[in-house]
Amino acid sequence: MTLPLEGLRVVEVAQYVAGPLAGSLLAELGADVIKVEPPGGDAYRRVMPVGEGIGRFFVPLNRGKRSVVLDLKSEHGRRGLAGIVATAAVVVHNSPAARAAGFGLGWDSLHAAHPELVVGVVTSFGPHGPLAGAPAYDLVAQGRSGLLTSHASHGDSVPVRAGGIPMADLTAGHLLASGVLAALVRARSAGEGQLVEVSLLGAALAVQIQDLVWIGDEADGAARPATRGDLGARADEIAGGLGMNPYYRCFEAVDGFLAVACLNLAQRRAFLDLFGLEDGTIEAPDVVPADTEVLTAKQAVTTEVERAIASEPVEAWLARLGAAGVPAGPVLVRESVHADAQVRANGLVQEVEQPGLGRVALLGGVFRFDESNPPPTRPAPALGADTDAVLREVGL
Protein backbone atom coordinates (compact mmCIF):
# COMPACT_ATOMS: atom_id res chain seq x y z
CA MET A 1 0.00 0.00 0.00
CA THR A 2 1.24 3.49 -0.86
CA LEU A 3 0.42 5.91 1.95
CA PRO A 4 -0.15 9.64 1.30
CA LEU A 5 2.99 10.92 3.03
CA GLU A 6 5.48 8.28 1.88
CA GLY A 7 8.79 9.86 0.90
CA LEU A 8 8.18 12.88 3.15
CA ARG A 9 10.35 13.46 6.20
CA VAL A 10 9.13 14.99 9.47
CA VAL A 11 11.48 16.14 12.23
CA GLU A 12 9.81 16.02 15.65
CA VAL A 13 11.48 17.84 18.55
CA ALA A 14 8.74 17.39 21.13
CA GLN A 15 8.03 15.64 24.41
CA TYR A 16 5.01 14.41 26.38
CA VAL A 17 1.71 14.22 24.45
CA ALA A 18 0.54 16.83 21.94
CA GLY A 19 3.63 17.15 19.71
CA PRO A 20 4.43 13.43 19.75
CA LEU A 21 0.80 12.58 18.92
CA ALA A 22 0.94 14.87 15.88
CA GLY A 23 4.16 13.14 14.81
CA SER A 24 2.60 9.72 15.34
CA LEU A 25 -0.39 10.60 13.15
CA LEU A 26 1.92 11.81 10.37
CA ALA A 27 3.91 8.58 10.69
CA GLU A 28 0.70 6.60 10.35
CA LEU A 29 0.10 8.45 7.09
CA GLY A 30 3.46 7.22 5.79
CA ALA A 31 5.91 9.96 6.77
CA ASP A 32 9.45 9.15 7.92
CA VAL A 33 9.30 10.75 11.36
CA ILE A 34 12.66 11.45 13.01
CA LYS A 35 12.17 12.02 16.73
CA VAL A 36 15.02 14.16 18.06
CA GLU A 37 15.46 13.55 21.79
CA PRO A 38 17.77 15.06 24.40
CA PRO A 39 20.42 12.78 25.94
CA GLY A 40 17.98 11.76 28.69
CA GLY A 41 15.18 11.11 26.22
CA ASP A 42 11.59 12.28 26.04
CA ALA A 43 10.41 12.73 29.64
CA TYR A 44 7.42 10.49 28.85
CA ARG A 45 9.79 7.52 28.66
CA ARG A 46 9.90 7.67 32.46
CA VAL A 47 6.16 8.09 33.13
CA MET A 48 4.36 4.85 34.05
CA PRO A 49 7.48 2.76 33.32
CA VAL A 50 6.91 -0.75 31.98
CA GLY A 51 10.48 -1.51 30.92
CA GLU A 52 13.94 0.01 30.72
CA GLY A 53 13.52 3.41 29.06
CA ILE A 54 9.92 2.57 28.12
CA GLY A 55 6.90 4.38 29.58
CA ARG A 56 3.43 2.91 29.10
CA PHE A 57 2.13 6.12 27.52
CA PHE A 58 5.28 6.66 25.45
CA VAL A 59 4.76 3.54 23.32
CA PRO A 60 1.47 4.45 21.56
CA LEU A 61 2.44 8.11 21.12
CA ASN A 62 5.78 7.34 19.49
CA ARG A 63 5.33 4.20 17.42
CA GLY A 64 6.39 4.39 13.82
CA LYS A 65 9.25 6.83 14.45
CA ARG A 66 13.04 6.71 14.49
CA SER A 67 14.91 8.11 17.49
CA VAL A 68 17.96 10.35 17.25
CA VAL A 69 19.73 11.70 20.34
CA LEU A 70 21.16 15.20 20.00
CA ASP A 71 22.19 17.65 22.71
CA LEU A 72 20.71 20.86 21.31
CA LYS A 73 22.50 22.87 23.98
CA SER A 74 25.75 22.08 22.15
CA GLU A 75 27.02 23.37 18.83
CA HIS A 76 27.49 19.79 17.64
CA GLY A 77 23.87 18.91 18.45
CA ARG A 78 22.48 22.01 16.75
CA ARG A 79 24.57 21.31 13.65
CA GLY A 80 23.19 17.76 13.54
CA LEU A 81 19.62 19.04 13.86
CA ALA A 82 20.17 21.55 11.08
CA GLY A 83 21.46 18.79 8.82
CA ILE A 84 18.37 16.65 9.42
CA VAL A 85 15.98 19.60 9.01
CA ALA A 86 17.55 20.35 5.62
CA THR A 87 16.16 17.01 4.38
CA ALA A 88 12.67 17.46 5.85
CA ALA A 89 9.35 18.84 4.69
CA VAL A 90 7.95 19.36 8.19
CA VAL A 91 9.28 20.28 11.63
CA VAL A 92 7.12 19.77 14.72
CA HIS A 93 8.16 21.12 18.12
CA ASN A 94 6.73 22.28 21.44
CA SER A 95 9.44 24.66 22.63
CA PRO A 96 8.69 28.27 23.68
CA ALA A 97 9.78 30.81 21.07
CA ALA A 98 12.98 31.90 22.81
CA ARG A 99 14.14 28.33 23.43
CA ALA A 100 13.20 27.27 19.90
CA ALA A 101 15.30 30.10 18.46
CA GLY A 102 18.26 29.00 20.57
CA PHE A 103 17.94 25.47 19.18
CA GLY A 104 17.79 26.75 15.58
CA LEU A 105 14.03 26.15 15.36
CA GLY A 106 12.86 29.77 15.18
CA TRP A 107 10.35 30.33 12.38
CA ASP A 108 12.14 33.29 10.80
CA SER A 109 15.46 31.49 10.48
CA LEU A 110 13.90 28.21 9.32
CA HIS A 111 11.73 29.96 6.73
CA ALA A 112 14.66 31.95 5.40
CA ALA A 113 16.78 28.80 4.99
CA HIS A 114 13.99 26.51 3.79
CA PRO A 115 11.11 28.49 2.22
CA GLU A 116 8.93 25.40 1.58
CA LEU A 117 9.30 24.00 5.10
CA VAL A 118 6.15 23.61 7.19
CA VAL A 119 6.68 24.22 10.91
CA GLY A 120 4.09 23.00 13.41
CA VAL A 121 4.27 24.34 16.97
CA VAL A 122 2.33 23.47 20.12
CA THR A 123 2.27 26.13 22.84
CA SER A 124 0.50 26.31 26.18
CA PHE A 125 -1.50 29.51 25.76
CA GLY A 126 -0.77 30.86 22.29
CA PRO A 127 1.79 33.43 21.06
CA HIS A 128 0.08 36.55 22.45
CA GLY A 129 -1.33 37.83 25.71
CA PRO A 130 -0.01 37.97 29.27
CA LEU A 131 0.67 34.22 29.37
CA ALA A 132 2.47 33.95 26.02
CA GLY A 133 5.53 31.77 26.58
CA ALA A 134 4.38 30.58 30.02
CA PRO A 135 4.62 26.83 30.64
CA ALA A 136 1.56 24.71 31.32
CA TYR A 137 0.24 21.21 30.95
CA ASP A 138 -3.11 19.66 30.13
CA LEU A 139 -4.70 20.09 33.57
CA VAL A 140 -3.94 23.82 33.66
CA ALA A 141 -5.33 24.32 30.14
CA GLN A 142 -8.49 22.38 30.99
CA GLY A 143 -8.95 24.53 34.08
CA ARG A 144 -8.56 27.87 32.30
CA SER A 145 -10.86 26.76 29.48
CA GLY A 146 -13.72 25.79 31.80
CA LEU A 147 -13.51 22.17 30.68
CA LEU A 148 -12.82 20.93 34.21
CA THR A 149 -16.27 22.05 35.32
CA SER A 150 -18.11 20.25 32.51
CA HIS A 151 -18.72 17.02 34.47
CA ALA A 152 -19.31 18.36 37.95
CA SER A 153 -21.29 16.53 40.62
CA HIS A 154 -22.25 17.32 44.19
CA GLY A 155 -19.94 14.53 45.36
CA ASP A 156 -16.81 16.06 43.84
CA SER A 157 -14.67 17.86 46.39
CA VAL A 158 -12.69 19.55 43.59
CA PRO A 159 -12.91 19.44 39.76
CA VAL A 160 -11.28 16.45 38.06
CA ARG A 161 -10.50 15.55 34.45
CA ALA A 162 -13.26 13.50 32.86
CA GLY A 163 -11.97 9.93 32.82
CA GLY A 164 -8.51 11.23 33.65
CA ILE A 165 -8.10 11.89 29.91
CA PRO A 166 -5.68 14.66 28.80
CA MET A 167 -8.26 16.12 26.44
CA ALA A 168 -6.38 19.35 25.72
CA ASP A 169 -3.17 17.49 24.92
CA LEU A 170 -4.81 14.93 22.66
CA THR A 171 -7.00 17.44 20.85
CA ALA A 172 -4.01 19.73 20.28
CA GLY A 173 -2.10 16.84 18.69
CA HIS A 174 -4.93 16.10 16.28
CA LEU A 175 -5.40 19.78 15.44
CA LEU A 176 -1.69 20.25 14.81
CA ALA A 177 -1.55 17.26 12.47
CA SER A 178 -4.55 18.63 10.55
CA GLY A 179 -2.97 22.07 10.28
CA VAL A 180 0.32 20.61 9.08
CA LEU A 181 -1.45 18.61 6.37
CA ALA A 182 -3.27 21.74 5.16
CA ALA A 183 0.00 23.69 5.11
CA LEU A 184 1.66 20.89 3.12
CA VAL A 185 -1.01 21.24 0.43
CA ARG A 186 -0.23 24.95 0.20
CA ALA A 187 3.52 24.31 0.17
CA ARG A 188 3.12 21.94 -2.77
CA SER A 189 0.89 24.32 -4.74
CA ALA A 190 2.42 27.70 -3.86
CA GLY A 191 5.98 26.64 -3.09
CA GLU A 192 5.92 28.31 0.30
CA GLY A 193 5.78 26.81 3.75
CA GLN A 194 3.82 28.09 6.72
CA LEU A 195 4.02 28.32 10.48
CA VAL A 196 1.15 26.33 12.05
CA GLU A 197 0.49 27.08 15.71
CA VAL A 198 -1.87 25.29 18.09
CA SER A 199 -2.27 25.91 21.83
CA LEU A 200 -3.44 23.64 24.61
CA LEU A 201 -5.84 26.38 25.69
CA GLY A 202 -7.33 26.62 22.20
CA ALA A 203 -7.64 22.85 22.00
CA ALA A 204 -9.43 22.67 25.36
CA LEU A 205 -11.87 25.28 24.10
CA ALA A 206 -12.28 23.50 20.75
CA VAL A 207 -13.69 20.33 22.31
CA GLN A 208 -16.41 22.45 23.93
CA ILE A 209 -17.42 24.21 20.70
CA GLN A 210 -21.13 23.35 20.88
CA ASP A 211 -21.36 24.71 24.43
CA LEU A 212 -19.45 27.93 23.85
CA VAL A 213 -22.33 30.23 22.92
CA TRP A 214 -22.84 33.54 24.73
CA ILE A 215 -26.03 35.35 23.69
CA GLY A 216 -26.65 39.05 24.36
CA ASP A 217 -25.66 40.06 27.88
CA GLU A 218 -24.07 36.63 28.41
CA ALA A 219 -21.11 37.91 26.39
CA ASP A 220 -20.42 40.64 28.97
CA GLY A 221 -18.63 40.31 32.28
CA ALA A 222 -15.25 39.12 33.46
CA ALA A 223 -13.67 35.68 33.75
CA ARG A 224 -13.96 34.29 37.28
CA PRO A 225 -12.82 31.18 39.14
CA ALA A 226 -15.31 28.37 39.66
CA THR A 227 -16.58 27.74 43.19
CA ARG A 228 -18.44 24.88 44.84
CA GLY A 229 -21.64 26.74 44.06
CA ASP A 230 -20.82 26.59 40.35
CA LEU A 231 -20.10 22.87 40.55
CA GLY A 232 -23.39 22.27 42.35
CA ALA A 233 -25.31 24.33 39.80
CA ARG A 234 -23.69 22.37 36.99
CA ALA A 235 -24.61 19.11 38.71
CA ASP A 236 -28.22 20.29 39.02
CA GLU A 237 -28.23 21.17 35.32
CA ILE A 238 -26.96 17.71 34.38
CA ALA A 239 -29.42 15.95 36.67
CA GLY A 240 -32.36 18.04 35.53
CA GLY A 241 -31.55 17.81 31.83
CA LEU A 242 -29.63 14.81 30.50
CA GLY A 243 -30.01 12.84 33.74
CA MET A 244 -33.78 13.03 33.52
CA ASN A 245 -33.85 12.48 29.76
CA PRO A 246 -34.29 8.72 29.19
CA TYR A 247 -33.40 8.98 25.49
CA TYR A 248 -29.71 9.90 25.69
CA ARG A 249 -28.02 8.32 28.68
CA CYS A 250 -26.64 5.15 30.21
CA PHE A 251 -28.67 2.52 32.05
CA GLU A 252 -27.74 -0.33 34.35
CA ALA A 253 -28.86 -3.82 33.34
CA VAL A 254 -28.50 -7.05 35.30
CA ASP A 255 -24.89 -7.62 34.27
CA GLY A 256 -23.54 -4.21 33.28
CA PHE A 257 -24.24 -0.88 31.67
CA LEU A 258 -25.52 0.11 28.23
CA ALA A 259 -25.74 3.44 26.43
CA VAL A 260 -28.87 4.60 24.58
CA ALA A 261 -28.78 7.53 22.13
CA CYS A 262 -32.04 8.66 20.54
CA LEU A 263 -31.48 12.02 18.87
CA ASN A 264 -34.59 12.21 16.71
CA LEU A 265 -38.31 11.90 17.33
CA ALA A 266 -38.75 8.59 15.50
CA GLN A 267 -36.05 6.95 17.61
CA ARG A 268 -37.53 8.31 20.82
CA ARG A 269 -40.99 7.00 19.93
CA ALA A 270 -39.58 3.58 19.05
CA PHE A 271 -37.78 3.55 22.40
CA LEU A 272 -40.92 4.38 24.38
CA ASP A 273 -42.93 1.76 22.47
CA LEU A 274 -40.61 -0.94 23.81
CA PHE A 275 -41.82 -0.10 27.31
CA GLY A 276 -45.43 0.81 26.48
CA LEU A 277 -44.91 4.33 27.79
CA GLU A 278 -45.87 7.86 26.76
CA ASP A 279 -43.98 11.08 27.41
CA GLY A 280 -45.47 14.54 27.03
CA THR A 281 -42.00 16.07 26.66
CA ILE A 282 -40.86 13.79 23.82
CA GLU A 283 -40.65 16.71 21.36
CA ALA A 284 -38.08 18.56 23.52
CA PRO A 285 -36.77 16.11 26.11
CA ASP A 286 -33.73 18.18 27.15
CA VAL A 287 -35.88 21.06 28.42
CA VAL A 288 -36.74 20.80 32.11
CA PRO A 289 -40.56 21.24 32.36
CA ALA A 290 -41.73 24.27 34.32
CA ASP A 291 -45.07 22.60 35.12
CA THR A 292 -44.77 20.42 38.24
CA GLU A 293 -47.20 17.76 36.99
CA VAL A 294 -45.38 17.41 33.67
CA LEU A 295 -42.06 17.22 35.49
CA THR A 296 -43.35 14.49 37.80
CA ALA A 297 -44.71 12.51 34.84
CA LYS A 298 -41.37 12.78 33.04
CA GLN A 299 -39.52 11.55 36.11
CA ALA A 300 -41.94 8.61 36.31
CA VAL A 301 -41.17 7.66 32.68
CA THR A 302 -37.44 7.67 33.35
CA THR A 303 -37.86 5.66 36.54
CA GLU A 304 -39.96 3.04 34.77
CA VAL A 305 -37.40 2.67 31.97
CA GLU A 306 -34.63 2.28 34.55
CA ARG A 307 -36.62 -0.39 36.39
CA ALA A 308 -37.35 -2.35 33.22
CA ILE A 309 -33.77 -2.31 31.92
CA ALA A 310 -32.43 -3.34 35.32
CA SER A 311 -34.39 -6.60 35.08
CA GLU A 312 -32.55 -8.15 32.09
CA PRO A 313 -28.98 -8.59 30.77
CA VAL A 314 -27.22 -6.10 28.51
CA GLU A 315 -27.22 -8.34 25.42
CA ALA A 316 -30.96 -8.97 25.70
CA TRP A 317 -31.64 -5.25 25.66
CA LEU A 318 -29.19 -4.58 22.84
CA ALA A 319 -30.96 -7.16 20.68
CA ARG A 320 -34.34 -5.61 21.44
CA LEU A 321 -33.17 -2.04 20.92
CA GLY A 322 -31.37 -2.93 17.70
CA ALA A 323 -34.49 -4.58 16.26
CA ALA A 324 -36.46 -1.42 17.06
CA GLY A 325 -33.91 0.80 15.31
CA VAL A 326 -32.77 2.45 18.54
CA PRO A 327 -29.03 3.30 18.62
CA ALA A 328 -27.48 1.56 21.63
CA GLY A 329 -24.35 -0.26 22.72
CA PRO A 330 -22.56 -1.73 25.71
CA VAL A 331 -20.40 0.32 28.05
CA LEU A 332 -17.11 -1.59 27.92
CA VAL A 333 -14.24 -1.53 30.35
CA ARG A 334 -11.51 0.52 28.65
CA GLU A 335 -8.90 -2.15 29.35
CA SER A 336 -10.96 -4.68 27.37
CA VAL A 337 -11.94 -2.77 24.22
CA HIS A 338 -9.11 -4.38 22.24
CA ALA A 339 -11.14 -7.63 22.27
CA ASP A 340 -14.37 -6.12 20.94
CA ALA A 341 -15.40 -7.77 17.67
CA GLN A 342 -16.32 -4.48 15.99
CA VAL A 343 -13.01 -2.88 16.97
CA ARG A 344 -11.09 -5.89 15.64
CA ALA A 345 -13.09 -6.13 12.41
CA ASN A 346 -12.10 -2.61 11.43
CA GLY A 347 -8.40 -2.96 12.19
CA LEU A 348 -8.58 -0.55 15.10
CA VAL A 349 -6.22 -2.72 17.12
CA GLN A 350 -2.84 -3.85 15.82
CA GLU A 351 -0.11 -5.88 17.47
CA VAL A 352 3.61 -5.10 17.33
CA GLU A 353 6.71 -6.61 18.85
CA GLN A 354 8.00 -3.91 21.17
CA PRO A 355 11.67 -4.37 22.11
CA GLY A 356 11.91 -4.89 25.84
CA LEU A 357 8.21 -5.72 26.21
CA GLY A 358 7.35 -8.35 23.62
CA ARG A 359 3.88 -8.49 22.06
CA VAL A 360 1.93 -5.26 22.52
CA ALA A 361 -1.56 -4.43 21.25
CA LEU A 362 -2.01 -0.77 20.26
CA LEU A 363 -4.61 1.41 18.63
CA GLY A 364 -4.54 0.52 14.95
CA GLY A 365 -4.84 2.76 11.92
CA VAL A 366 -7.77 5.15 12.24
CA PHE A 367 -7.32 6.08 8.56
CA ARG A 368 -8.29 3.83 5.66
CA PHE A 369 -6.92 4.20 2.15
CA ASP A 370 -8.15 2.33 -0.91
CA GLU A 371 -10.47 0.33 1.38
CA SER A 372 -7.55 -0.93 3.47
CA ASN A 373 -6.01 -0.11 6.82
CA PRO A 374 -2.34 0.92 6.81
CA PRO A 375 -0.04 -2.00 7.67
CA PRO A 376 1.17 -2.31 11.27
CA THR A 377 3.69 0.40 12.05
CA ARG A 378 7.09 -0.12 13.64
CA PRO A 379 7.20 -0.08 17.45
CA ALA A 380 8.24 2.92 19.51
CA PRO A 381 12.01 3.41 19.13
CA ALA A 382 14.62 2.77 21.76
CA LEU A 383 16.33 5.98 22.81
CA GLY A 384 18.87 6.97 20.15
CA ALA A 385 18.50 3.72 18.23
CA ASP A 386 18.66 5.50 14.87
CA THR A 387 21.13 8.30 15.59
CA ASP A 388 24.01 6.93 13.54
CA ALA A 389 21.84 5.81 10.63
CA VAL A 390 19.99 9.11 10.30
CA LEU A 391 23.13 11.23 10.56
CA ARG A 392 24.76 9.11 7.85
CA GLU A 393 21.67 9.66 5.66
CA VAL A 394 22.10 13.42 5.88
CA GLY A 395 25.85 13.28 5.33
CA LEU A 396 26.99 13.97 8.89
Q: What superfamily in CATH does domain 9-207+343-393 come from? A: Crotonobetainyl-coa:carnitine coa-transferase; domain 1 (3.40.50.10540)
Q: 242 Cβ partners below 8 Å, 6+ apart?
A: 248, 249, 286
Phi, psi of 279 (to 5 degrees): -140, 120
What fold characterizes domain 241-336? formyl-coa transferase, domain 3 (3.30.1540)
Locate CATH 3.40.50.10540 in the chain: 9-207+343-393
Locate CATH 3.30.1540.10 in the chain: 241-336
3-state secondary structure 62-125: HCCEEEEECCCCCHHHHHHHHHHHCCCCEEEECCCHHHHHHHCCCHHHHHHHCCCCEEEEEECC
Residue-wise pLDDT tens for the chain (396 aa)? 789 999 999 999 999 999 999 999 999 999 999 999 999 999 999 998 888 888 999 999 999 999 999 999 999 999 999 999 999 999 999 999 999 999 999 999 999 999 999 999 999 999 988 888 888 889 889 988 988 888 766 566 777 787 788 999 999 999 999 999 999 999 999 999 999 999 999 999 999 988 888 788 877 888 777 777 777 666 656 555 555 688 888 889 999 999 998 988 999 999 999 999 999 888 888 777 777 888 788 889 999 999 999 999 999 999 999 999 999 988 887 777 788 877 777 777 778 888 888 888 887 767 777 667 777 678 899 999 999 999 999 998
